[in-house]
Structure 1
Amino acid sequence: MPRIITITSGKGGVGKTNISLNVALYLASEGHRTCLFDADLGLANINILLGLQPEYTLKDLILDGRTIDDIIIRDYKGIDILPGSSGVEQVANLDPSRTQELIGALSQLEDYDFLLFDTSAGISKNVISFCLATLELVVIITPEPTSLTDAYSLVKVLSMNGYQGKLQVVVNQCKDFSAAKSVYNKFRGAIQKYLGMQVYALGVVFEDPKVVEAVKQQEPLLIRYPGSLASQCIRKIGQKLLDGTDEELSSVQVEGFWKRWLGVIQGPLKLKETGQKPSKESEENNEQG
């Protein structure tokens, strides 16, 4: 059974997809069978980042009866990629028999060691469904104030909907370790104080011009610039994931994940607290430093 990890963020532009891709490549380089699932169901960011043009996507699996083998991109530099697409929200309207067929198809992803989900940014139902379905969540933040407030809002929605998994944080685009530590402590403090949730530091990725160069060349950073500062950071994050293997978290059945995901997609979701005045935590998160 694979270890399932969802990687998300409160806002776009924080480097989430880049980190997801390169962590997946690192895990594969260490001998672990890894599948990266593009769960950005609007833009399909992984396709854009790598210049891929898949013949079929998740939408074809859900609506047109294509199989996992039809849509999956095999052995891209050592990993498999399952391309996302727009229009997947139509899964909410599937009849029970088709829903069961879909769960059966998606459950074929059982043969990996790692199954990584790269969501879109924000607090849409698509994002929340993948987050609530997983027991291991990685939130990407940066020193930018809006990154922190939006990430806090995301975690708050998860808390309101009963999230019980492990919440880990990567601080991206930092100048140095001191700045990263300050950003992490600020974010963790707000989460613990106002939501009562534990937050764990997974790592930091420092500012590095090689990241932009790799994106321009549509090549993974870890492969194009393996000796770069950011690549070194990525390897440390990947190794920390490997070192922190939790037996309870790593024994999750893929079928159970997809049942939880569909349960959220097809059911009601609490997105905000009604009748609430602007909160103190929002004010604190808007303060920089």
Structure 2
Amino acid sequence: MKQASEWLISQNKFHRDARSLGRKAHTVSITGGKGGVGKTSIALKMARMLAKQDFKVLLIDCDTNLSNTAVKLGLPLNDHFMDLVTAKKSFEECLTIDGNFHLLSACNGNMELFEKELEFDRLLIDVMSAHEKDYDYILLDCPAGLSKTSLTLNAYSDQRIVVVTPDRSSITDSYSLMKILNTRYGVNENHLLVNKVSTLAQYQRMVRTLGETVENFLTARLRVLGFVAFERGAVDRFDQELLGGANSALERDFAKVLTRFTEETVGANVSAHGPARPYNSMRVREQDVQPAIC
């Protein structure tokens, strides 16, 4: 871990210096301690909505041998990531492109990739460093858990959106992720998005508990973006609206969360409905609740 931390520090210094010379991409990791909380769908929705607002966006599926992004988009499975690693194809040839939305998907059960002893964090950061000047946003769909790859990519990112559900293990694992990022990598800020919420009171308890725990035990702060409510059948509806681009209530409501995030972090207003109101996480109105993104 020490060696990885030292390498990351040097990479971050290069990253900051490179930005000052004209690089422009804003790197955001969508992460969480537990699988199945909705990270991939949130990453896809965020990427597509930013692209729709004329930002050039690269989404990287960082679970390098389990490409859930391709599955959710209904794309044919491919080994483009392996082709990129082995230099069989160029970066551009390995992308799935839809207007301003570019996707670098992962492989799915590629045995050659599985058997190679590769440092995927280094590989992915090299990809970002090489192409950062070509994008406004680079979004990372990070694998769940506390692997070296996931920790390094989260620490490297400008911002992190931690997706958590009311499930007790999700809360515990997300705190463990933030703790290691803070104590080992010096990360002192994360954004929180709570998914699959049943009641407003449940959401407020989660925010209060996580917020107080982070404040009391870490030298870090937690910025609350909001929450999405649990609703049956939401997976199919979300995927249909994502692919169809309908101007639905889901699209408008998720735009509010996205606007809060971009206005807090880079001052960009991506909402088509005017500037967002200042957000108080403990005063959430019923109309701020969105259908669950699973």
TM-score of the aligned structures, taking structure 1 as reference length: 0.73
Worse overlay, 59-68 or 121-130:
59-68
> For residue 79 of structure 1, what is the aligned residue in structure 2?
101
> For residue 192 of structure 2, what is the aligned residue in structure 1?
169
> For residue 254 of structure 2, what is the aligned residue in structure 1?
234
Aligned with residue 92 of structure 1, among 112, 119, 123:
119
Matches within 5 A, 1:43-192: 43-75=66-98, 78-85=100-107, 87=113, 90-92=117-119, 103=126, 107-164=130-187, 166-192=189-215
Matched, 1:42 2:62: no
Worse overlay, 104-113 or 147-156:
104-113
Query: 1:92–1:203: structure 2 CA closer, same or farther, 3 Å change rule?
Result: same
| Partners of 1:174 and 1:222 in 2: CA distance | 24
RMSD, matched Cα: 2.8
Q: Which fold has the larger relative contact order, with Cα–Cα distance below 8 Å and residues 6 or more apart in sequence?
A: 1
Q: Which runs of 5+ in 1 are unaligned?
A: 94-98, 248-289
Asked if 2 retains the 8 angstrom alpha-carbon contact of 1:174 and 1:180, the reply is: yes
Q: What do the CA deviations read for 1:235-287 (whole angstroms, capped 9, x no partner)? A: 1121112222337xxxxxxxxxxxxxxxxxxxxxxxxxxxxxxxxxxxxxxxx
Q: Give the secondary structure class of the aligned counterpart of 1:5.
A: strand
> For residue 287 of structure 1, what is the aligned residue in structure 2?
none
Q: What do the CA deviations read for 1:173-197 (whole angstroms, capped 9, x no partner)? A: 1123332222122112112211221
Matched, 1:246 2:269: no
Asked if 1 retains the 8 angstrom alpha-carbon contact of 2:160 and 2:191, the reply is: yes
Aligned with residue 209 of structure 1, among 202, 207, 232:
232
| Partners of 2:89 and 2:188 in 1: CA distance | 32
Q: Which amino acid aligns with 2:26?
A: R
Asked if 2 retains the 8 angstrom alpha-carbon contact of 1:143 and 1:183, the reply is: yes
Worse overlay, 67-76 or 219-228:
219-228
Query: 1:57–1:189: structure 2 CA closer, same or farther, 3 Å change rule?
Result: farther
| Partners of 1:41 and 1:165 in 2: CA distance | 27
Asked if 2 retains the 8 angstrom alpha-carbon contact of 1:168 and 1:199, the reply is: yes
Among all aligned residue pairs of Structure 1 and Structure 2, give the percentage whose two residues are the same amino acid. 24
Asked if 1 retains the 8 angstrom alpha-carbon contact of 2:33 and 2:170, the reply is: yes
TM-score of the aligned structures, taking structure 2 as reference length: 0.72
Asked if 2 retains the 8 angstrom alpha-carbon contact of 1:210 and 1:225, the reply is: no
| Partners of 2:253 and 2:243 in 1: CA distance | 10
How much does 1:222 deviate? 7.3
Q: What do the CA deviations read for 1:29-85 (whole angstroms, capped 9, x no partner)? A: 222111111112231110111121254432221224421111111116x51111123
Q: Which amino acid aligns with 1:227?
A: S
How much does 1:110 deviate? 2.2
| Partners of 1:220 and 1:197 in 2: CA distance | 36
How much does 1:166 deviate? 3.1
Q: Which runs of 5+ in 2 are unaligned?
A: 1-23, 268-294
Asked if 2 retains the 8 angstrom alpha-carbon contact of 1:67 and 1:105, the reply is: no
Q: Which amino acid aligns with 1:92?
A: E
Q: Which amino acid aligns with 2:34?
A: K
Q: Which amino acid aligns with 2:256?
A: K
How much does 1:120 deviate? 1.0
